[in-house]
Amino acid sequence: MTLVMGILNVTPDSFSDGGRWHAADAAVAKGLELAREGADIVDVGGESTRPGAERVEPGEEVSRVLPVIEALAGEGLTVSIDTMRARTARAAVDAGARIVNDVSGGLADADMARIVAELECDYVAMHWRAHSTRMDAQAHYGDVVSEVRDELAARVDALVAAGIEPARIVLDPGLGFSKVGTSNWELLAHLEQLRAVAPSGRILVGASRKRFLGATITRDDREGDGQAKPAPARIRDHATTAVTTMCAQQGVWAVRVHDASAARDAVQVVSAWQNAREGQR
């Protein structure tokens, strides 16, 4: 059954909930809430990767996430660290994290693959072409599915060559990262091609509240010119749940979401439906 990874941004500037959980005590409380609502994994990040975001200093990132990870792991939660830095990954795993979730797939830090191999933890490698300040300029594809697949396959080869066990590697198509408009939907429609190059067969999908969902569920601007405009992040949760449902139907390993309760409900409904179908065969 598809797992739910709950998003915990310990940052002041994330696109959807920046600043709400910046303080360590608030972040810990939110992490525990996510687990109660159905998150199987709590993904703790100390650096925003929203479009246009500037990088934070390494020491600041570590100081943001470590107290939160230690507290949540101490409560028995499965915690992942959302980072592009090997130093942060090592400190987080030492503090109790079990998964390293790297949106750069090891490209942002040359030491990441070696460190993860030493840590012997699961590693999520996302498709990535550039940092947040430049990623939209890299959103050009002839065939987005085949190019993302091939670029992820190349990352798998490099990660395995660095010593990471193939069974520990999870792939993420990187929705919204150097992807605009319909590219995201094309990837969602062909996840089986990405699964084919995932040595563990595991795919993580992070669609929660992203721009391409807002562009799909447009809203009329009642206070302006009345024209349809992208739905703001705060009202993209229903669209996110629809994507979660589709991913669960396709057997995706995990979905990364802000609303863990809605995702858990969607996964359980899909599971009940699939069980009924199997029972009729």
Active site residue 256: yes
Active site residue 30: no
On whether the CB atoms of residues 240 and 207 are closer than 8 A, the answer is yes
* Cα distance between residue 258 and residue 28, in whole Å: 15
Tokens linked to 98: 């079990």
On whether the CB atoms of residues 72 and 29 are closer than 8 A, the answer is no
Q: Which of 202, 236, 256, 264 is catalytic?
A: 256
Q: Which of 90, 155, 195, 210 is catalytic?
A: 210
Q: How many residues does the chain have?
A: 281
The span from the first CA to the last CA of the chain, in angstroms, equals 20
Tokens linked to 188: 């969602």
Q: What is the DSSP letter of 163?
A: T
- H helix runs in the chain, sequence order: 24-36, 58-74, 86-94, 112-119, 144-161, 183-189, 191-195, 211-216, 237-249, 260-279
Phi and psi for 209 in degrees, rounded to 5? 60, 20
* Active-site residue set: 210, 256
